[in-house]
A and B are shown apart, each in its own frame.
Chain A
Amino acid sequence: MITKEDVEHIGWLARIEISEQETVEYMEKLNSVLGYFGQLDELPTKDVTPTYHVAEIYNVFRDDVVEECLPQEVVLANTEHKQDGAFRVPKIG
């Protein structure tokens, strides 16, 4: 069971601000889903190898060949928060 503290912790990890009231709502909904996920516990999987990907491909590489970059104005076109060719954000901590 997921607790209020768990919700707060994963909210921090996921950088999603969660209000006091939302914490309780999330806790309920998340627990109902996690309860459903819990049905997997009944399935023994000790010797089963996990499947990360169905495609069994190995060694996909590209050559070290320079391609064109985006112009600076295009890079910055999707934000108004910019200065001297850089993205501008508030101080970090």
Chain B
Amino acid sequence: MVYENPDGVRIGLEIHIQLNKLKTKMFCGCSTDYHNAAPNTHTCPVCLGLPGALPVLNKKVVEAAIKVGLALEGEIAEETQFHRKNYFYPDLPKGYQITQYDFPIVSNGKIVIEGEDGEHTVGITRAHMEEDPGKLVHIGSIEKSKGVLIDYNRSGVSLIETVTEPDMRSPKEARRFLDKFRNILEYLDVFDGNLEGAMRVDANVSVHWGTRVEVKNISSHKGVERALLYEIMRQKNVIRRGGKVSQETRHFDEGRGVTLSMRTKEEAEDYRYFREPDLMPMRITDWIPAVKETLPELPDAKRTRFIEQYGITDMHAKSLTSKIMLADFYEGVCAKGVDPKIAATWTADVFLGELNYRDLAISSYDGEKIGFIHAKDPRIKNSIKVSDMVELVNLFAEGKISDRAAVEVIRTMLDTAEEKTPSQIIEEKGLFKAEDDLVTKAVAETIAENEAAVQDYLGGTEKSLNFLVGQVMKKTKGTADAKTARDLIIKELKG
């Protein structure tokens, strides 16, 4: 099957990611751990742009950029350098941004995603290093602002800007691209996508192979799909009404889920790029082999290995490798000698499903426990131990608890902060699978007490059987295995 792309949609992305796993900023020793800090407490003369202060490049930034380049199968420039992009904005303390221009460190890469019609390659035009500006808070709303407060804690944090080819054909492909990209970055251990503002996306989108519209300022991951769906609908409607899509930059209003035309500036910007004279060029070819050696196993390779090594389905392997921390957790569980297939079901289907249902995102794995945090409220966080998952999988595999009980255990572990083992939870909630004679007794009682239903069932009303099973479950407080109860009833009534 070939995806026909009926609306002729072309989407390209420009993605800024913060190298927030680095300890310090790009050009100074200020800590990047500013997310819960008071304004302007993580700054120094360099990132405040005080007169006379000079930048010195953090080596880890270059190393991270090389890693990204290698992971995207791109070309790493033999010689690369920084430029100044000159423009005035209050979040930019020097009046220019140190960035890269005609010699980006990475070019011509690619990411293969699961597209509308199977594997689909998205080209990476370039990836380059640049510094983050500070953060502005508008007093009142942006439109009716009474003034602006500036916090330079973010100023100078390292960014990698990645520009794709317009190779995505639907908002879904754009989201899948971002999921995959983020996953790769987390594998490389240069990026933590859970921190606020860690990934910011600008998209360019056109329909019917027409004029490109830029949609700026999409801050959330999920926002991309919404913004693009809206923008495509808008462009299609403009054309349907006989209008023309104009080339412009639009702003995504996250709250309302719409894109809005940005007021055009009175004059076009002219960034007057020139080489940053305070920084020396880099020759990094000799460095690449050493960085290559430190590259971890990347998602696609891990997925293939999981299928081979653990005998699990591709669906499970894909799901388990969709986050490095989840993959490591799964392997941690398997290492304790449990059945990897059962472990895959309980990790990929149940555990991950319950996390998503609760809007919880995996945020850490330390070899002993996997941590997760609420996507919107960072105060809500919890963790589950490898040993707990092992115990749970074993209890289930040994038939000591029902699947319903196991789900209940996982839910309890996610929802309570108390550190309790699955056995303790099962004990407290009385979730152990009922003894067979208990079930037999409950079946006998049920048949005796529900004459009418029994007659209905024997008369051919199948529904009545479900009622009877329900009664048995009620009597056993849910500890009976439903299938066992059903079989017993049929055996009693029909021999």
Asked if A and B form a direct contact in the complex, defined as CB atoms under 8 angstroms apart, the reply is yes
A43 touches B (CB below 8 Å): no
- Which of A24-32, A34-42, A49-57 is the contact stretch? A49-57
Which positions 17-63 of chain B face chain A at CB distance < 8 Å?
22-24, 28-31, 38-45, 48, 56-60, 62
Which positions 63-77 of chain A face chain B at CB distance < 8 Å?
63-72, 75-76
Task: Give the interface residue-count category, chain A.
Answer: 35 or more
A33 touches B (CB below 8 Å): no
- Which of B143-151, B198-206, B443-451 is the contact stretch? B143-151
The interface residues of chain B lying within 8 Å CB-to-CB of A66 are 23-24, 29-31
Do residues B41 and A69 form an inter-chain contact, with CB atoms below 8 A?
yes
| Of A13, A60, A64, A89, the contact of B150 (CB 8 Å cutoff) | A89
Shortest Cβ distance from residue B212 to the other chain A in the assembled complex, whole angstroms = 24
Do residues A85 and B277 form an inter-chain contact, with CB atoms below 8 A?
no
A59 touches B (CB below 8 Å): yes
Do residues A69 and B148 form an inter-chain contact, with CB atoms below 8 A?
no
The interface residues of chain A lying within 8 Å CB-to-CB of B57 are 60-62
Shortest Cβ distance from residue B22 to the other chain A in the assembled complex, whole angstroms = 5
Tell me the nearest residue of chain B to A92, going by C-beta. Answer: B148
A4 touches B (CB below 8 Å): no
A15 touches B (CB below 8 Å): yes
Digitize B335-353: 1 where CB-to-A-CB distance is under 8 Å, 0 elsewhere: 0000000000000000000
- Which of B267-275, B362-370, B409-417 is the contact stretch? B267-275
| Alpha-carbon separation in the docked complex, A71 to B281 (Å) | 33
Do residues A93 and B263 form an inter-chain contact, with CB atoms below 8 A?
yes
Do residues B149 and A12 form an inter-chain contact, with CB atoms below 8 A?
no
| Alpha-carbon separation in the docked complex, A52 to B145 (Å) | 43
The interface residues of chain A lying within 8 Å CB-to-CB of B138 are 91
Tell me the nearest residue of chain A to B30, going by C-beta. Answer: A69
| Alpha-carbon separation in the docked complex, A10 to B191 (Å) | 40
**Chain A's interface: helix, strand, loop or mixed, by majority?**
loop
The interface residues of chain B lying within 8 Å CB-to-CB of A63 are 58-59
The interface residues of chain A lying within 8 Å CB-to-CB of B295 are none
Do residues B280 and A88 form an inter-chain contact, with CB atoms below 8 A?
no
B279 touches A (CB below 8 Å): yes
B376 touches A (CB below 8 Å): no
The interface residues of chain A lying within 8 Å CB-to-CB of B136 are 92
Tell me the nearest residue of chain A to B158, going by C-beta. Answer: A64
Do residues A75 and B275 form an inter-chain contact, with CB atoms below 8 A?
no
The interface residues of chain A lying within 8 Å CB-to-CB of B275 are 52
| Of A12, A60, A62, A70, the contact of B43 (CB 8 Å cutoff) | A70
Shortest Cβ distance from residue B36 to the other chain A in the assembled complex, whole angstroms = 14
Tell me the nearest residue of chain A to B28, going by C-beta. Answer: A67
Do residues A72 and B40 form an inter-chain contact, with CB atoms below 8 A?
yes
Do residues A76 and B40 form an inter-chain contact, with CB atoms below 8 A?
yes
Do residues B149 and A52 form an inter-chain contact, with CB atoms below 8 A?
no
| Alpha-carbon separation in the docked complex, A53 to B56 (Å) | 16
| Alpha-carbon separation in the docked complex, A76 to B149 (Å) | 12
A20 touches B (CB below 8 Å): no
B8 touches A (CB below 8 Å): no
| Alpha-carbon separation in the docked complex, A93 to B142 (Å) | 9
| Alpha-carbon separation in the docked complex, A84 to B150 (Å) | 10
| Of A61, A65, A67, A89, the contact of B62 (CB 8 Å cutoff) | A61
Shortest Cβ distance from residue B486 to the other chain A in the assembled complex, whole angstroms = 62
* CB within 8 Å for A84 and B43 given contacts A58-B283, A61-B57, A89-B147: no
The interface residues of chain B lying within 8 Å CB-to-CB of A15 are 88
Do residues A61 and B150 form an inter-chain contact, with CB atoms below 8 A?
no
| Of B40, B59, B60, B89, the contact of A87 (CB 8 Å cutoff) | B40
| Of A67, A71, A72, A89, the contact of B29 (CB 8 Å cutoff) | A67
Tell me the nearest residue of chain A to B29, going by C-beta. Answer: A67
B282 touches A (CB below 8 Å): yes
The interface residues of chain B lying within 8 Å CB-to-CB of A83 are 149
Do residues A67 and B282 form an inter-chain contact, with CB atoms below 8 A?
no
* CB within 8 Å for A59 and B42 given contacts A53-B277, A66-B24, A69-B30: no
B284 touches A (CB below 8 Å): yes
Tell me the nearest residue of chain B to A73, going by C-beta. Answer: B40
B30, B40, B43, B138: residue with the most chain A Cβ atoms closer than 10 Å:
B40
B90 touches A (CB below 8 Å): yes
Which positions 148-183 of chain B face chain A at CB distance < 8 Å?
148-152
Do residues A9 and B267 form an inter-chain contact, with CB atoms below 8 A?
yes
* CB within 8 Å for A72 and B41 given contacts A61-B62, A67-B29, A67-B30: yes
Tell me the nearest residue of chain B to A78, going by C-beta. Answer: B50
Do residues B48 and A75 form an inter-chain contact, with CB atoms below 8 A?
yes
Residues on B facing A (Cβ under 8 Å): 22-24, 28-31, 38-45, 48, 56-60, 62, 88-90, 136-138, 145-152, 263, 266-267, 270, 272, 275, 277, 279-284
17 chain-A/chain-B pairs, Cβ below 8 angstroms: A9-B267, A13-B270, A58-B283, A60-B57, A61-B56, A61-B59, A62-B56, A62-B58, A64-B23, A64-B24, A64-B58, A67-B24, A67-B44, A72-B40, A75-B48, A91-B145, A92-B90
Closest CB pairs A-B (n = 5): A67-B29, A61-B59, A86-B149, A91-B145, A85-B39
Not counting A58-B280, A60-B56, a sample of 5 additional A-B residue pairs whose C-beta atoms are within 8 angstroms of each other reads A9-B267, A72-B38, A76-B40, A85-B151, A86-B151
